[in-house]
């Protein structure tokens, strides 16, 4: 059993990741925290609450930092739309957030639970995570592991070298990677292999027909955005890769190596610099994903989503 805090910015692929975390019984989803990224904090928080209610789960949601640590916010409405979940009609949430200081809650949950108990999965810019580590440095040795969809060993998406979650808040990413905690970075080198083709989409809908309308709404909108904005014929489902790795680490090929984050470069700001040159230092606690077992990945996604029941 993995006891998880999911820090996210729903977002179409965050929504699928959240469904997986709620669907698979190997995950005890303790709480969800939100950060601005795909859309404003208010919008992604509302989306998280609605998605949780849609499948009848009771998971507390804590909203976090409304803006990045230093940079001016630049949301990804060009991919996720005005609501952050365009293409899907969700009922407005009936529940309210459990709190509005996610960083404090992350610290509280990690410090109040046993050592090596909490797994942090992040699928958003790292603003909340950096704030939590600055508030209470002890969480870095106490958390079991940090599994993040973020960064890239090779090519970026928002710029030639920077991935969106890093680019949105590079200072937060720098703070996180400079701390001594076990980090698995699942970057674009992995997630660009998680392409949701129409055949895969049909398979997911077949696995859970009552969720089918929402799944089709999410994936169809995401496909159109990726076609228009990044010339992908089908959308890469980034965030589910982090949950899939949490469920079965063998789904991603990883290598241990130090990662630094560029925060000053005029053209390289937001780049995650993975040092693959030689053997990683003995005390290196960071590993990066290089490849995805695509067949195993979609089996994990399908199995997790199949368990969800839509609240009538």
Annotated catalytic sites, by residue?
238
**Residues 6+ positions from 18 with CB-CB distance below 8 Å:** 6, 8, 10, 32, 48, 51, 52
Nearer to ligand RIB, 23 or 187 (CB): 187
Q: How far apart are CA 138 and CA 27, in angstroms?
A: 24
**Residue 7 CA: distances (Å) to CA of 61, 64, 128, 204, 299:** 10, 9, 8, 24, 24
Task: Sort 171 into a burial class: Cβ within 10 Å, 0-12 / 13-18 / 19+.
Answer: middle
Please choose which of ligand RIB, Ca ion, none residue 167 contacts, taking the beta carbon within 5 to 8 angstroms, the exact cut-off set by kind: none
Binding-site string for ligand RIB from residue 135 to residue 174, where x marks contact by CB under 6 A and - marks none: --------------x-------x-----xxx---------
Please state the closest distance from residue 312 (CB atom) to Ca ion, in A.
Answer: 29
Does 11 engage in binding with Ca ion (CB under 5 A)?
Answer: yes
Please choose which of ligand RIB, Ca ion, none residue 164 contacts, taking the beta carbon within 5 to 8 angstroms, the exact cut-off set by kind: ligand RIB
Place of tokens 């090779």: 154
Nearer to ligand RIB, 9 or 86 (CB): 9
Nearer to ligand RIB, 10 or 108 (CB): 10
**Residue 247 CA: distances (Å) to CA of 2, 13, 186, 240:** 8, 17, 14, 11
Taking CB under 5 A as the criterion, which residues in 214-253 touch Ca ion?
239
Q: What is the 3-state secondary structure (H, E, C) of 128-148?
A: HHHHHHHHCCCHHHHCCEEEE
Nearer to ligand RIB, 191 or 254 (CB): 191
Query: Which residues would be at the binding site for Ca ion (CB under 5 A)?
Result: 9, 11, 14, 123-124, 239
Residues that bind ligand RIB (CB under 6 A): 9, 11, 13-14, 37-38, 76, 123-124, 149, 157, 163-165, 238-239
């Amino acid at each position: 059993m993995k006891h998880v805090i999911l820090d996210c910015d729903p977002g179409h692929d965050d929504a699928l990741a959240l469904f997986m975390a709620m669907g698979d019984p190997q995950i005890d989803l303790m709480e969800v925290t939100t950060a601005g990224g795909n859309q404003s904090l208010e919008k992604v928080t509302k989306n998280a609450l609605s998605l949780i209610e849609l499948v009848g789960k009771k998971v507390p949601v804590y909203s976090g930092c409304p803006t990045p640590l230093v940079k001016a916010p630049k949301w990804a409405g060009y991919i996720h739309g005005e609501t952050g979940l365009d293409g899907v009609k969700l009922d407005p949430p009936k529940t309210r957030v459990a709190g509005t200081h996610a960083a404090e809650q992350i610290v509280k949950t990690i410090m109040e639970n046993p050592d090596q108990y909490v797994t942090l999965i992040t699928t958003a810019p790292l603003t909340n995570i950096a704030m939590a580590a600055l508030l209470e440095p002890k969480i870095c040795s106490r958390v079991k592991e940090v599994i993040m969809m973020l960064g890239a060993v090779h090519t970026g998406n928002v710029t030639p070298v920077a991935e969106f979650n890093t680019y949105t808040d590079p200072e937060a990413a720098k703070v996180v990677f400079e701390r001594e905690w076990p980090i698995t970075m699942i970057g674009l080198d992995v997630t660009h292999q998680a392409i949701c083709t129409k055949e895969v989409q049909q398979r997911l809908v077949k696995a859970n027909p009552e969720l089918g309308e929402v799944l089709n709404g999410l994936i169809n909108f995401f496909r159109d955005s990726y076609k228009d904005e990044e010339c992908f014929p089908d959308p890469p489902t980034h965030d589910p890769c982090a949950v899939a790795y949490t469920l079965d680490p063998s789904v991603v090929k990883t290598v241990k190596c130090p990662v630094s984050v560029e925060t000053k470069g005029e053209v390289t700001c937001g780049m995650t610099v993975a040092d693959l040159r030689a053997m990683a230092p003995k005390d290196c606690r960071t590993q990066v994903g290089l490849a995805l077992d695509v067949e195993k990945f979609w089996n994990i996604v399908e199995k997790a989503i199949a368990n969800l029941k839509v609240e009538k």
